[in-house]
Amino acid sequence: DELLFKQPENTNFGDCPICMIPMPLDFQKYGTSSCCSKKICNGCNYANQMREAEKKLQHSCPFCRKPVPSTKKQGDKQTMKRIAANDPVAMRQKGIQQHEKGDYRSAFEYYTRAAELGDAAAQYELGRLYESGKGVEKDEGKAIHFLEEAAIGGHPNARNRLGLIEWDNGNIQRAVKH
């Protein structure tokens, strides 16, 4: 419990690798590059766009400077390269794509691989799959386990979900700690 209820110094999003400012909770204020799987804040993305426009350069990743894929097929190819390199962010992103298609079993496989590599967002997604029973047998114990792992990793939605579960179970004191 001590580890679970200890407040992390930041979220699982970490800092922008360019400006080192903590990433916002609002996912619309940053982007993830398929080439290097780095989350880049909108400020650094904007600065990169301004640099490219000023120097009439091809659009490229602000972090690794690789050209941004112009088609979905090229983006998927880059993601698969990152997955082959054991990149948990790419695995989770592929899991999200499969989840959105309704292929929960495949999503489960990608989330599991990413969670094993310590990706808190993948742990959260796994917890939600176990909670709903999509792509896997419904298991409240495993759902709580993965949500707790994600919360310890700084995932705010996992902490919120755990609080709601505790509240629904009548554990009000424990719920408000989340």
Q: What mean pLDDT is predicted for residues 47-52? A: 94
How confident is residue 13, by pLDDT bands cut at 50, 70 and 90? confident
CB 40 within 8 Å of CB 47: no
Q: pLDDT value at position 120?
A: 94
Q: pLDDT value at position 169?
A: 93
CB 19 within 8 Å of CB 163: no
CB 84 within 8 Å of CB 91: no
CB 33 within 8 Å of CB 40: yes
83-108, pLDDT tens digit by residue?
Answer: 999 999 999 999 999 999 999 999 99
